[in-house]
Amino acid sequence: MSQKIILNNSYSITKSHLFHIVDPSPWPVLTSFALLLLVIGGVSFMHGYKFNIYILSAGIISVGYCLYSWWRDIVKEGIVEHQHTSPVRKGLQIGMALFILTEIVFFGVFFASFFKSSLSPVGLLDGVWVVKQGIWPPPTIKTFEPFDIPFINTLILLLSGTTVTWAHYALEEKNQKDCVTALALTILLGIFFTTMQAYEYYHAAFKFTDGIYASNFYLATGFHGAHVIIGTIFLIICYFRAKRGDFTTEGNGHLGFECAAWYWHFVDVVWLFLFTFVYIFGS
Residue 204: CATH number of its domain: 1.20.120.80
State yes or no: pLDDT of 131 exceeds 70. Answer: no
Residues 202, 276, single domain; the answer is: yes
What phi, psi does 2 have (nearest 5°)?
Answer: -105, 155
Q: How many CA atoms lie within 13 A of 153 on its CB side?
A: 30
- Higher model confidence: residue 212 or residue 132? 212
Residues in the chain: 283
Task: Give pLDDT, residue 127.
Answer: 54
Q: Are residues 171 and 261 in the same domain?
A: yes
Confidence class of residue 246 from pLDDT cuts 50, 70 and 90? confident
Q: Which pLDDT does position 116 carry in this prediction?
A: 86
Phi, psi of 221 (to 5 degrees): -75, -30
End position of a domain, from candidates 83, 107, 131: 83
What are residue 123's phi and psi, to 5 degrees? -150, 165
Q: Are residues 63 and 156 in the same domain?
A: no
Phi then psi dihedrals of residue 143, to 5 deg: -80, 170
Domain that holds residue 75: 1-83
Is the residue at 110 inside a domain? no
Using 50, 70 and 90 to split pLDDT, how confident is the model at 10? very low
Higher local confidence (pLDDT), 212 or 70:
70
6 and 75, same domain (yes or no): yes
Residue 129 Cα to chain centre, angstroms: 36
Whether 267 shows a pLDDT value over 60: the answer reads yes
Please report the pLDDT score of residue 149 as a whole number. 94
**Close Cβ partners of 45 (under 8 Å, ≥ 6 residues apart):** 52, 53, 55, 56
pLDDT band of residue 124 (cuts 50, 70, 90) is low
Range with top average pLDDT, 44-58, 120-134, 246-260? 44-58
56 and 177, same domain (yes or no)? no
The torsion defined by the Cα of 114, 115, 119 and 122, in degrees rounded to 10, comes to -30
| pLDDT greater than 70 at residue 120 | yes
Task: Tell whether 174 and 75 lie within a shared domain.
Answer: no
pLDDT over threshold 90, residue 139: no
Measure Cα distances from 281 to 137, 154, 273 in Å: 10, 15, 10
- Residue 123's CB is within 10 A of a number of other CB atoms, namely 14
pLDDT one-digit tens code per residue, 30-48:
999 999 999 999 889 888 8
Whether the pLDDT of residue 240 is over 80: the answer is yes
CA–CA separation, 280 vs 270, rounded Å?
Answer: 14
Total domains present in the chain? 2
- Quick check: is 100 in a domain? no
Is the pLDDT assigned to residue 136 strictly greater than 80?
no
SS (H, E, C) the chain: CCEEEECCCCCEEEECCCCCCCCCCCHHHHHHHHHHHHHHHHHHHHHCCCCHHHHHHHHHHHHHHHHHHHHHHHHHHHHCCCCCCHHHHHHHHHHHHHHHHHHHHHHHHHHHHHHHHHHCCEEEECCEEEECCCCCCCCCCCCCCCCCHHHHHHHHHHHHHHHHHHHHHHHHCCCHHHHHHHHHHHHHHHHHHHHHHHHHHHCCCCCCCCHHHHHHHHHHHHHHHHHHHHHHHHHHHHHHHHHHCCCCCCCCCCHHHHHHHHHHHHHHHHHHHHHHHHHHHCC
204 and 148 Cβ atoms separated by less than 8 Å: no
| In a shared domain, residues 52 and 149 | no
Q: What percent of the chain has pLDDT over 90?
A: 58
Averaged pLDDT for residues 61-70: 93
Q: Look at 264 and 23; give whichever has higher pLDDT.
A: 264
Query: What is the per-residue pLDDT across 184-222, written as a single tens digit (0 to 9) for each?
Result: 999 999 999 999 999 999 999 888 888 888 889 999 999
Q: Does position 253 have pLDDT exceeding 80, yes or no?
A: no
Average of per-residue pLDDT across 259-264: 96
The whole-number pLDDT of residue 129 equals 52
6 has pLDDT over 50: no
Query: Which has more confidence, 166 or 283?
Result: 166
pLDDT of residue 19: 75
User: Which range has the worst mean pLDDT, 42-46, 133-137, 240-244?
Assistant: 133-137
264, 186 Cβ separation under 8 angstroms: yes
In this prediction, residues 225-237 reach a mean pLDDT of 94
